[in-house]
Amino acid sequence: MTAVDLQTWEKKAAEIGQGLSRFVAIWGDASGYCPFVHLATRRKGASSAEVINLAAPDRRFPSIGAHQPAAILMERAIFDMHGLIADGLPDTRPWLDHGTWPGSRATKPYKFKPVNGDGIHQIPVGPVHAGTIEPGHFRFSVNGETIVRIEARLGYTHKGTLKLMRRASIDHAAKLTARISGDSTCAYSFAFALAVEQALGVEAPARAQILRGVMAELERLANHLGDFGAICNDAGFPLLNAHGAMLRERMLRLCAACFGHRLMMDLIVPGGVTADLAHGDEAKIDRELTIVSTQFERIVEVYEKTASLQDRTVGTGRLDPAVAELLGCGGYVGRASGQTFDARRDMAYAPYHDLHFGVPCRDIGDADTRVRVRIEEVRQSSAIILALLRELPDGPIQSPRPPSTSPREGNAIVEGFRGDVFSYVRISNGCIEDVFLRDPSWFLWPALETAIEGNIVADFPLCNKSFNASYSGCDL
Site for ligand SF4, rule CB under 6 A: 179, 182
Question: Of the two residues 175 and 408, which places its CB atom closer to another protein in the complex?
Answer: 175
User: According to the binding rule CB under 8 A, does residue 405 interact with another protein?
Assistant: no
3-state secondary structure the chain: CEEECHHHHHHHHHHHHCCCEEEEEEEEECCCCCCEEEEEEEECCCCCCEEEEEECCCCEEECCCCCCHHHHHHHHHHHHHHCCEEECCCCCCCCCCCCCCCCCCCCCCCCCCCCCCCCEEEEEECCCCCCCCCCCEEEEEEECCEEEEEEEECCCCCCCHHHHHCCCEHHHHHHHHCCCCHHHHHHHHHHHHHHHHHHHCCCCCHHHHHHHHHHHHHHHHHHHHHHHHHHHHHCCCHHHHHHHHHHHHHHHHHHHHHHCCCCCCCCEECCEECCCCCCCHHHHHHHHHHHHHHHHHHHHHHHHHCHHHHHHHCCCCCCCHHHHHHHCCCHHHHHCCCCCCCHHHHCCCCCHHHCCCCCCCCCCCCHHHHHHHHHHHHHHHHHHHHHHHHCCCCCCCECCCCCCCCCEEEEEEEEECCEEEEEEEEEECCEEEEEEEECCHHHHHHHHHHHHCCCEHHHHHHHHHHHCCCCHHHHC
Q: Which does 100 bind (CB under 5 to 8 A by kind): ligand SF4, another protein, none?
A: another protein
Give the one residue of 1, 55, 133, 257 binding another protein; rule: CB under 8 A: 133
- Asked if 131 interacts with another protein (CB under 8 A), we say yes
Of residues 102 through 121, those in contact with another protein by CB under 8 A are 102-103
| Segment interacting with another protein (CB under 8 A) among 42-50, 110-118, 174-182, 459-467 | 174-182
Residue 155 near which of ligand SF4, another protein, none (CB within 5-8 Å, type-dependent):
another protein
* Closest distance to another protein from the beta carbon of 454 (Å): 27
Question: Cα–Cα distance between 463 and 244 in angstroms, integer?
Answer: 18
Residue 471 sits in the site that holds another protein (CB under 8 A):
yes
> Which residue lies nearer to another protein by CB, 147 or 225?
225
When CB distances are held under 5 to 8 angstroms depending on the partner's kind, the choice from ligand SF4, another protein, none that residue 161 binds is another protein
Judged by CB under 8 A, the stretch of 22-30, 150-158, 194-202, 441-449 that binds another protein is 150-158
Residue 462 beta carbon to another protein: minimum distance, rounded to whole angstroms = 17
Q: From another protein, ligand SF4, none, which one binds at residue 298 (CB under 5 to 8 Å depending on kind)?
A: another protein
Residue 163 binds: one of another protein, ligand SF4, none (C-beta under 5 to 8 A by kind)? another protein
Find out whether 23 and 75 touch, Cβ atoms under 8 Å.
no
The least CB distance from residue 134 to another protein, in Å, is 5
Binding mask 201-240 for another protein (x = CB under 8 A): -------------------------x------------x-
Site for another protein in 295-314 (CB under 8 A): 298-299, 301-302, 305-306
Binding mask 311-340 for another protein (x = CB under 8 A): ------------------------------
Q: How many positions of this chain bind another protein (CB under 8 A)?
A: 54
Q: Which residues bind another protein (CB under 8 A)?
A: 96, 98, 100-103, 127-128, 130-135, 155-161, 163-164, 172, 175-176, 179-183, 185, 226, 239, 242-243, 245-246, 248-249, 252, 256, 262-263, 265, 298-299, 301-302, 305-306, 470-472
